[in-house]
Amino acid sequence: MAYALLIDAGNTNTKFCLADETGLKSSYTLPTRPRNTADDWGIKILEVLRLEGVSPEEVEGCVVSSVVPPLDPLLAGMSKRFLGMRARFVPRDLPLGIENRYARPEQVGADVLVTAFGARRLREERCLIVVDYGTATTLACIVDDAFMGGLICPGVLSSMSSLHEGTAKLPAVELEVSSDELSWGRTTSECLNQGLVFGFAEMTGGLCRKLAKQMDADPYVIATGGLASGIARICPEIDEVRPDLLMEGLWMACFD
């Protein structure tokens, strides 16, 4: 069976996922380190393939979404040497079926376009908003088959890291939602959890409501990213959670 290797190169982590025409397979997440060599990435890929019982010869495509330019030549070199093929970067080498109406299209991250494309392929509603809880929190607005623009806000985890690193007494905590109702924290960890999770939920809801006023139909809101499920529980503006929407978009671009 022919496989494709899908790569999401983000600022914090790089995710690898095998896929075939039936859908996504297992995914693996590694820290993004642009100083690693192409050989280092290649050895990691061979280990992923070994764990999945897939030989390099069975991989017939390598598709990359990258927002880390220094990493691009390393991933291209890895694909060439270890998989024997040229990596295709979206949207440069593999155009997506979505129009980019940004004032400066070259400034739009590949991840934003891929998730916008994936959302459009999944939903028929005319107006969509994709909220991506990554290193930054982004909101992408899609009308018909066009990415219209959006917003870039601080990320949940990066905000927590900034508080931890910039203060003497605030610890790093595991973010989790223990209740759907806001209550004041009785410990520092509870205060951080309540403040960050409910704060970002309220930010998301408020921004979606304001963006909706610029659309001629109520938008359908899709949340993606590792913290999307927890925040969606307490944010009624979010209609659906797709944790791996970017990988789903890469799969659609590769196999459709």
State the Cα–Cα distance between residues 132 and 246, nearest whole angstrom.
9
CA distances from 199 to 155, 231, 236 (A): 12, 10, 14
Mean pLDDT value across residues 230-239: 93
Which of 20, 72, 111, 145 is flagged as catalytic?
A: 111
Give the tokens for residue 111.
């991840």
Task: Please report the DSSP string for 7-22 in residue order.
Answer: EEE-SSEEEEEEEETT
State the Cα–Cα distance between residues 146 and 215, nearest whole angstrom.
13
pTM of the model: 0.91
Strand partners, 149: 141
Task: Check if 111 is active-site.
Answer: yes
State the Cα–Cα distance between residues 187 and 83, nearest whole angstrom.
51
pLDDT confidence bin for 79, thresholds 50/70/90: very high
Q: Which of 34-48, 128-142, 237-251 has the lowest mean pLDDT?
A: 34-48
State the Cα–Cα distance between residues 44 and 229, nearest whole angstrom.
29
- 242, pLDDT greater than 70: yes
Express each pLDDT in 129-186 by its tens digit. Answer: 999 998 899 999 999 999 999 999 998 878 777 776 777 566 666 667 667 787 787 7
Mean pLDDT value across residues 68-79: 95
Most confident of 96-100, 163-167, 225-229: 96-100
- What structural domains and CATH numbers belong to the chain? 3-89 (3.30.420.40), 99-250 (3.30.420.40)
